[in-house]
Amino acid sequence: MSISRRDFLGAGAAAAAGLALPTLAGAEPVISNIVDRAARPAPRPASRPVIISAANGMEKDPEGKQGIKVAWDLLAGGADPLDAIVAGVNVVELNPNDQSVGLGGLPDEDGVVQVDASCMHGPSKRAGAVGCLEDIADAAAVAKAVMDFTDHIFLVGEGAKRFAIEMGFKPQNLLTDKSRRDWLRWKADLNPDDNWLNLPARRPAGAPKGGRGGRDDETLQQSLHVYYDARGVPHTYGTINMNVVTASGDIASVTTTSGLSWKIPGRVGDSPIIGAGQYCDNEVGAAGSTGRGEANMKVCGGFLAVEFMRQGMSPTEACMKVMERVVAMTESRLLDEHGRPYFDLQYYAVNKKGEYGAAMAYQGADPDHPTSFAVCDDKGARLEPFAYMYTYDQRPKGRPMSGTLVIPK
Ligand code: ASP
């Protein structure tokens, strides 16, 4: 089925302009001091359809055939919104150079890649998820299959894999040679008394020890979401979350990841948890997260962002307000002497009007190149900078800022 350009763009934009969001009786928009102080871009005009996502791959290759463009083209052709974004994130899942999602993801501590994903379909109020799925790159599509073909919502481990194979997904080893070598480097350097000889680090030229890098690194070129520890071993905290609002105001969301690098086998992050990694309410909007899942899970960040939008906050304000809740809910061992977290986290949100926004805890790794998220609307696909709570200079010194922590001794 195809739809006319007027149906795709015009009717949606007109409807978006006059739409009021449902508000909880008595709820006041609460904008805290932190949110007031933090950097917030001017409100973005509402326009539908719109897709917002993590920028995986786009930072390095803005003109390439990126997932968000694939999703947009499918939407323009009349595809269901969730089908469109599941196909969009699949571009990243199948890209072996993105070491934070699907094929080529950095493995767990046993060298096994376990992937997590979840999705929600606003118009039909359905959800699906998979966790600790092995040997299948298309985790988001498997999550959608759980939604489409079962009476369950969440399958994990061996059962999730068996289900995926029954659904026709092809098993393959997700550990690429590159990720296997990184795993060996990490493993060899864990214990000074073991019998492993340390392999040369592959920290790229110019990337600081114990800092983030990646711009000059050929093998990790698809992702800036890389932290090099003091030994030059990469840690990833990528993940892709994608959210869409169609011309007529239908909403869908999806998140897919290989999770934190070197995790304990069986660890499930926030990405497959409905309400944490992503959430969608067709009356209000959608939101999702990337970054330290352990921090997001405790605040049910996807759900909370949607609830803040329901109370009347803009998507950016909602994301910042969730970030504030994350800091408030962080145990002291993970906060520096100023109460700032030793990790980073990103939120992405859209509302039913087609307004969108994204926020992260810290300004980014490089003050000259603001960290960005991806957006696609009738003006095309582009990168826009995150709002942030703390500036680059406020990052705790000498501490990794990825989802993977080195706890101060
Ligand atoms: N949120 C993901 C997880 O905790 C990882 C990430 O986005 O970096 O598994």
Who has greater pLDDT, 343 or 351?
Answer: 351
Distance CA(93)–CA(207), nearest Å, equals 26
Ranked by mean pLDDT, the top range of 27-41, 89-103, 349-363 is: 349-363
Domain annotation covers residue 34:
no
Domain annotation covers residue 193:
no
Are 12 and 354 a contacting pair, CB within 8 Å?
Answer: yes
Rounded to an integer, the average pLDDT of 328-348 is: 92
Domain annotation covers residue 344:
yes
**pLDDT grade for 5, boundaries at 50, 70 and 90:** low
Instruction: Name 226's bridge partners.
Output: 236
Ligand 1 neighbourhood includes 114 CB (under 6 angstroms): no
Who has greater pLDDT, 105 or 41?
Answer: 105
Statement: residue 214 has pLDDT above 50 = no
Domain annotation covers residue 195:
no
3-state DSSP of 109-157: CCCCCEEEEEEEECCCCEEEEEEEEECCCCHHHHHHHHHHHCCCCEEEH
Could you tell me the CATH number of the domain that includes residue 83?
A: 3.60.20.30
Are 378 and 47 a contacting pair, CB within 8 Å?
Answer: yes
- Residue 90 CA to ligand 1 center (angstroms) comes to 17
What DSSP assignment string belongs to 212-278?
Answer: E--TT-STTTT-S-EEE-TTS-EEE---EEEEEE-TT--EEEEEEE--STTPPTT---STTSBTTTE
**Tell me, what's the pLDDT at 367?**
63
Ligand 1 neighbourhood includes 257 CB (under 6 angstroms): yes
Rounded to an integer, the average pLDDT of 192-196 is: 82
Structural domains of the chain, count: 1
Pocket test for ligand 1, best of 257, 263, 300, 345 (most atoms within 8 A of CB): 257
Give the structural domain span for 105: 40-176+235-394
Average pLDDT, the chain: 83
The SS3 call for residue 172 is coil
Nearest-atom number in ligand 1 for the CA of 116 is 9
How many CA atoms, within 13 angstroms, populate the side-chain half-sphere of residue 246?
A: 26
Ligand 1 neighbourhood includes 293 CB (under 6 angstroms): yes
**pLDDT grade for 236, boundaries at 50, 70 and 90:** low
Ligand 1 neighbourhood includes 290 CB (under 6 angstroms): yes
Domain annotation covers residue 99:
yes
Ligand 1 neighbourhood includes 56 CB (under 6 angstroms): no
- Residue 370 CA to ligand 1 center (angstroms) comes to 20
Pocket test for ligand 1, best of 241, 292, 404 (most atoms within 8 A of CB): 292
Pocket test for ligand 1, best of 132, 270, 344, 360 (most atoms within 8 A of CB): 270
Statement: residue 128 has pLDDT above 80 = yes
Residue 322 is inside which H or E element, if any? helix 315-328
Rounded to an integer, the average pLDDT of 328-336 is: 92
Domain annotation covers residue 212:
no
Are 289 and 255 a contacting pair, CB within 8 Å?
Answer: yes
Statement: residue 279 has pLDDT above 90 = yes
Percent of the chain with pLDDT over 70: 74
Statement: residue 264 has pLDDT above 60 = yes
The reported pTM is: 0.86
**Tell me, what's the pLDDT at 182?**
85
Rounded to an integer, the average pLDDT of 49-73 is: 85
**Tell me, what's the pLDDT at 245?**
98
Ligand 1 neighbourhood includes 256 CB (under 6 angstroms): no
Rounded to an integer, the average pLDDT of 271-277 is: 98
- Residue 24 CA to ligand 1 center (angstroms) comes to 31
Domain annotation covers residue 406:
no
**Tell me, what's the pLDDT at 225?**
57
Who has greater pLDDT, 227 or 357?
Answer: 357
Statement: residue 17 has pLDDT above 60 = no
Percent of the chain with pLDDT over 90: 56
Domain annotation covers residue 28:
no
The catalytic residue among 150, 176, 219, 239 is 239
Would you call 239 a catalytic residue per the annotation?
yes
Distance CA(296)–CA(322), nearest Å, equals 9
